[in-house]
Amino acid sequence: MRDGKKELRIGLVLTGIILGLALISLFYTPYDYNAMDKAARSLAPSLKHLFGTDSYGRDIFSRAIFGSRYTLLVALSTVGSCTVIASVLGLVSGYVGGILDEVIMRIIDAISSFPDILIALMVVTVLNLGQFTIVAALCITFVPSFTRIVRTATLQYKNAEFVKNLRVFGVSDMRILLVHIFPNTFPLLLSTIVIGLSNAILAEAAMSYLGLGIQPPIPSWGRMLQEAQTIVYTTPWAAVCPGIMIVVTIVGLNCIGEGLRKLYL
């Protein structure tokens, strides 16, 4: 119990720092994130430019904290939409059972049989939803794992004594699912959601690195790493800042997820 609390605190502190920077960027950044200064190209980190400048003279720290809100928005949108879809599928599949369960789970198995990166590439190529096509792509890849978790928990509770008693008293299936079964699945789902956020951030960074995520001029962390790859030997700090932001966020979210798991599961 004590170890879980410690990890939870560490995770909240690390994640809080990143969220704080993202919120601050809504109102203030040291420099315009897209402003180019030929006289300040490839400057090393200093008090004036905390993480230096890139080959265009743009302040890397300003770009990193400005881009943090878009990276986090993609992660939150992906996991949020995925949770809603997977909760509906998992609850219906586990509670109703029969042919409907078989159909849903076979579709889930079919999606899972393809590599995530391949599915994401296909969705991004086919759909044209603007900057956030990546949300739809990542959501599809995340739905199978979330659905299985909700379904497993639903199967565990649907034949429980308290559910049988509710049926005897004429409580509707919809109310049983939403009011009595789903809240019991949420502790397990909550830990999965937190870990899903870290996976979504990594996936967004990977897709943006391949040029299929958030598009310029918005500087998401993955996009910044992609832009830094050609100058990493001469201007290494261009990759260090977004890399640090990604690592701190992932470690923080994983600590929160592990802490919640130890405390409540």
Rg (CA), the chain: 22
Question: What separation in angstroms does the CA of 139 have from each of 11, 55, 196, 203?
Answer: 24, 34, 10, 11
Residue 123 lies in a domain: yes
CATH number of the domain at 138, please.
1.10.3720.10
Query: pTM score > 0.95 for this model?
Result: no
Which of these, 125, 147, 137, lies nearest to 74 by C-alpha position?
A: 137
User: With b meaning 16 or more CB within 10 Å and e meaning fewer, what string describes 208-247?
Assistant: bbeebbbeeebbbbbbbbbbbeeeeeebebbbbbbbebbe
Residue 9 lies in a domain: yes
pLDDT for res 1? 47
Q: Domain residues for 213?
A: 2-34+49-264
Residue 246 lies in a domain: yes
Residue 43 lies in a domain: no
Instruction: Report the chain's terminal Cα–Cα distance, integer Å.
Output: 11
Cβ-in-10-Å burial (0-12, 13-18, 19+) of 107 comes to: middle
Residue 41 lies in a domain: no
User: With b meaning 16 or more CB within 10 Å and e meaning fewer, what string describes 26-38?
Assistant: eeebebebeeeee
Residue 171 lies in a domain: yes
pLDDT digit of tens for each residue in the chain (265 aa)? 456 788 889 999 999 999 999 999 989 889 988 888 888 888 888 888 888 888 888 999 999 999 888 888 889 999 999 999 999 999 999 988 889 999 999 999 988 888 877 887 788 777 765 666 888 888 888 999 899 999 988 888 888 888 888 888 888 888 888 888 888 888 788 888 888 898 888 888 888 777 777 777 788 888 888 888 888 888 888 888 889 999 999 999 988 888 887 776 6
Other CB atoms within 10 A of residue 111 CB: 15
- How far is residue 159's CA from residue 20's CA, in Å, rounded to a whole number? 44
Total domain count, the chain: 1
Residue 40 lies in a domain: no
Q: What sign does the CA torsion over 221, 226, 227, 228 have?
A: positive
Residue 44 lies in a domain: no
Half-sphere exposure in the Cβ direction for 174 (13 Å, CA): 0
